[in-house]
Every structure is written in C-alpha cells, then in structure tokens.
Structure 1
Amino acid sequence: MILRDFLEGQDVVRGGDRPSHCCLVLTGFVCRYALLPDGRRQILAFHPPGDVPDLQSLHLQIMDHSVAAMMPSTVAFIAHEHIQHATEQHPRLIHAFWRETLIDAATFRAWMIGLGRRSAHERIAHLICEMLLRFEAVGLAEGGVFQMPVTQQDIADALGLSNVHVNRVLQDLRRDELIAWQRPMIAVLRREALEELAMFDPTYLHMRNLPDAPGVAAEA
C-alpha cells in the first residue's frame, strides 16, 4: 500500500491511464469527472473517505474518466495483484466488491433520474440529502452538519445546471431555512422538509446501520 497526498484540484487518476493500483480515499474528498473535447466538465460522482472510486480498474484496463481531489486529500494506492491475492485467500471479498459495484450502478441510476426529471431545486436538495447520509455512514457528520468542499461551479457541473442557477437555488434553500452553507460546511436545518422537496428515497444507497433519521430505513 502506498499513501499519497493530493492538493485541491489535483488529479489522482487521469482518463487514459492504465492503473496498476486501486485508490482508497483515507481523508479529504474526491470526485470522478469526464471532459468533453472542448473542455466542458461533467462531474460523475462525489466520494468521501472510505470510498474506492476506481474499483473498476481491477478489470477495465484503461480509465475512461478521471478522479480528482476537491480538497487536500490522502489516498492509499493498493496494487491490483494484492487485491486479487486477497480475494483468492478471502472469497467473501469478491461479494463485497461486487456489492459495491452494484451500489455504484444504483447511484448512477439515481443521478440519471435527477438529471432527466428533477427540477433544479430538487436536484440540489437531493444531492445534499445523499451526501449527508454518506458522511453520516462514515462518522463524518453530526447534527446534520458536514464538510463538503464544493463550489457552486462544482454543483453545476455535477447536476447539469448553470452557475447562476445554482446560486439562485442555494439562496432559496437558505431563505426557506432548509440549509445553511458556508463553504466548506453544510448544515441541514430542516431535514424532513429538505427530503420532501427532493423526493428523497435512500433505498438506492443500500446502506446498513444508518443513524436514525427521518424518512430513512436501514437495510437489514
């Protein structure tokens, strides 16, 4: 295992790379993204500590997107051969990795629904609800407050909106006292109301041992 520190905005893995390691986020916050030929960016996913954002590189030789740090982050690189050896010695790991891949696909489906059918207010509310749950799951949120070091442009690039539109929606959410946001901290002030606005159903995250929260049922 190799530990590396990354600065905000620095690529952890680049599209076109042929990785020999998978990366595990230890501290910080990273995203997956892709660029169009003209430089426009689409953020594909956000990853808090504990996530392995490039698990697919075990079987797909070439990265078709990039992974970047969104704040100073520490990442552990684990050699593919070591992971493969571990799965041979401990077959249950195969099921764990397969489950992680399926949840990743479920999250992509949820994001696709958001991009295709949710309003701007619903998209942003849904993203905040999702990230709050994911940070709670790794013990990095308390009382509805968590650190998510994204800019308005990052949110725009993730949700298919303009920077101006994101700004207006965030102002509305603040005015309605649903959230407080002073980058990098986000506080969810009225969770049930935010979840209702987002039509948020966390089933797609398939989380176990979730903290008690309105509208959230832990998976058995």
Structure 2
Amino acid sequence: MTAGSLSPHTLMIRKLESTFTFADEEKQALQNLPIQVTNLKAGRDIVRVGDRPSQCCLILEGFSCVYKLTSEGKRQLVALHVPGDIPDLQSLHLEVMDNSIALISPCTVGFIQHEDLRCVCERYPRLTAAFWRETLVDASIFREWLLNNGRREAYTRMAHLLCEFLMRLKAVGLVEDDAFDLPITQVELADAIGTSSVHVNRVLQALRGDGLVQTKGKQVIVPDWEKLKEAGDFDPLYLHLEDVGAARSPAVA
C-alpha cells in the first residue's frame, strides 16, 4: 500500500493511533478537520526560521526534513518526517519558528489551519493530549538522534536510521514484506547522520555486503530484521508506539 492510496484524514488518524487510542467521536472530529491538499516539488521550504505560520503541514506522500544552518551556510538535518507526520505541530503554540522545514522529495502535503486545530482541541481535550504526545515523541526521536550521531560509528548510525524508518513507516501501513520506499539522496543521508556522502556510499555498500539490506532503486528491503536491529543497536522504545510487541518484532506483527 502507498500513502497516496489513503485519504489525508485516514493517514493522520492512523499515525496518531500508533501512539494513542481514540473514541469513535474523536475519530469523527479528526475526519471533519478541513485539510487543504497540494502537491509540492522537492527542495521547497514549507517554513523557515523566523516565520510565523498560521497553519500546520501534514505529510501525505514523500519525505520532509527539519534543518538548521550555521552562519556559514552548513546544513544539519535534525529530523526526518514521513507520511502521517506533522513536522511543524509545535507552531500551534510557538509563534515564531526556530528551524526550517524542507521537502526532500516531491511531496503531497495537507495544510491544516491553526484555528481549526484549536477548535477541535477545545471541544475534545483528549485530542489535545494526542497532539501533545506527538510533539513529545518528536522530542524523544531527537534525543535518540543526538545519541546516534554523537556516540555511534557511521555503520551503526545508518543501520539504526534504517530500522527507525521501517518502524515509523510500518506504523502507518507503508511497509510491505519488510520493504519500504526511501526517497532520500546520499547527500541528505549524510546530512542526517553527520558524515560525508562518500562515506554514506561506503556504509550502504557494507550493509548490502553483510546481507542486512537490499536496495532496488529507492526501495529498501530488510531481509533479516534481527541482524539489522543488532547492527544498529536499535531499541524502538523511544518511538513510543502503542503496540510495543509489534515494534520489537515487525516481521511478525
């Protein structure tokens, strides 16, 4: 199944339900949220540092990144977002953006006005908790990225990142037979794990050579989840998925 085969509301609810349980009336309230869907090209910024957005962006297809720049223009990716994610959810409460968000592949996105989100949260307090939990999980992922990039070798870093992608995409039903689409260049992977694109190429070759991953174009196949998880020093606890058993053994979920 592809993200494009799901309605915007279904994808959003599926993502939120991976870490939260809703009542029927709460699901219906989410179904009734107005979402403006549009297709955007890769490389476009959704928001930039200093912006004061009046809407949040739901990723429907493709990948986006959160990034920061040094005064010299050097870029560091501090988060990657997949279909079902709302990468700028914090803008609902933080008026001024302190990071930029860009599309790293052609994307279909859905814009949700802050006013509409506030109204549904005021009427259904548990939805406020669900959205708050999303921002807390984002913070948890950020802490794991900090550990990953600061203390692990590049080989382990890459294996860990691929494990994370598999789990996050599986949570919204976008993994089939332990295979998923990864529309990211080696330059962007290098910016994400803090190394050079040349070294990323070597690491991916090593992972393929060790039989931990297979690649077909932009598709990544994981033939042995347990070995990849071990190579990546990966424990999905930090993703705080509702079904912990499924998170620890995706192949049998």
TM-score, normalised relative to structure 1: 0.93
Say whether residues 1:73 and 2:77 are aligned partners.
no
Which digits, 9 at most, give the CA deviation of each residue in 1:109-136, with x for residues without a partner?
Answer: 1111111111111100000000001111
Give 1 or 2: higher helix fraction: 2
AA in 2 matched with 1:46 = L
Q: Aligned to 2:37, what secondary structure does the other structure show?
A: strand
Out of 119, 128, 136, the position equivalent to 1:85 is 119
Out of 198, 223, 226, the position equivalent to 1:189 is 223
Residues 156 and 163, structure 1, Cα contact 8 Å, conserved in 2: yes
Counterpart for residue 44 of structure 2: 10
Residues 62 and 183, structure 2, Cα contact 8 Å, conserved in 1: no
Counterpart for residue 136 of structure 1: 170
Q: Aligned to 2:214, what secondary structure does the other structure show?
A: strand
Cα deviation, residue 6, structure 1: 0.8
Which digits, 9 at most, give the CA deviation of each residue in 1:128-156, with x for residues without a partner?
Answer: 00000111111111111100111111111
Out of 39, 42, 45, the position equivalent to 2:79 is 45
Which digits, 9 at most, give the CA deviation of each residue in 1:192-212, with x for residues without a partner?
Answer: 111001111000001124684
Whole-Å separation in 2 of the counterparts to 1:214 and 1:202: 6
Counterpart for residue 210 of structure 2: 176
Which digits, 9 at most, give the CA deviation of each residue in 1:151-208, with x for residues without a partner?
Answer: 1111110111111211111110011111112341111122111100111100000112
Whole-Å separation in 1 of the counterparts to 2:74 and 2:223: 33
Residues 136 and 210, structure 1, Cα contact 8 Å, conserved in 2: no
Q: How does 1:90-169 map to 2 (within 5 A)?
A: 90-169=124-203
AA in 2 matched with 1:131 = F
Q: Aligned to 1:177, what secondary structure does the other structure show?
A: coil
Say whether residues 1:202 and 2:236 are aligned partners.
yes
Which digits, 9 at most, give the CA deviation of each residue in 1:49-86, with x for residues without a partner?
Answer: 11100011011111111111122211111111111111
Fraction of identical pairs, as percent? 51
Quickly say closer, same or farther: Cα 1:84–1:105, change in 2 above 3 A: same
Counterpart for residue 20 of structure 2: none
**Any runs of at least 4 consecutive aligned residues in structure 1 with deviations exceeding 6 A, and if so which?**
none
Whole-Å separation in 2 of the counterparts to 1:3 and 1:119: 40
AA in 2 matched with 1:75 = V
Quickly say closer, same or farther: Cα 1:210–1:71, change in 2 above 3 A: farther
Out of 91, 94, 105, the position equivalent to 1:60 is 94
Residues 38 and 109, structure 2, Cα contact 8 Å, conserved in 1: yes
Gapped regions of structure 1 (runs ≥ 5): none
Whole-Å separation in 2 of the counterparts to 1:215 and 1:141: 13
Residues 236 and 247, structure 2, Cα contact 8 Å, conserved in 1: no
Residues 140 and 239, structure 2, Cα contact 8 Å, conserved in 1: yes
- Root-mean-square deviation (CA), in Å? 1.5
Deviates more, 1:181-190 or 1:18-27: 181-190
Give 1 or 2: higher strand fraction: 1
